[in-house]
Amino acid sequence: NYLDIFTINEEHFLIRSTLTGFMDTTVPKQGFLQIHRQYVVNLSKIDQVNVAQNYLIVAGKQLPISRTLKKKVVDLIQAKPK
């Protein structure tokens, strides 16, 4: 169980943890969202959302939104202050 963590500054960290364990112990509860079983994003770094095609753009990278998390993602993004 390893996680690849990529930052907006293009730093890369490899840590030994599960995504769930990392989310529960390390990531702040506010401001981060799991959008797919493999992806967690900082809500303030989302550049674009394409709900119809199930993806969002963060730092120029297209990341998938899972079908099961889509409603939660859309609700949180719509509630986010502009």
pLDDT at position 31: 87
Q: Where are the beta strands (DSSP E) in the chain?
A: 2-6, 12-16, 32-36, 39-42, 46-50, 55-58, 61-64
Task: Round to whole Å and give the CA distance between 54 and 68.
Answer: 11
pLDDT of residue 27: 87
Residue 67 pLDDT greater than 90, yes or no: yes
Q: Structure pTM? A: 0.82
- pLDDT tens across 10-52, in order? 899 999 999 999 999 988 888 899 999 999 999 889 999 999 9
Q: Average the pLDDT over 56-66 and give the result.
A: 94
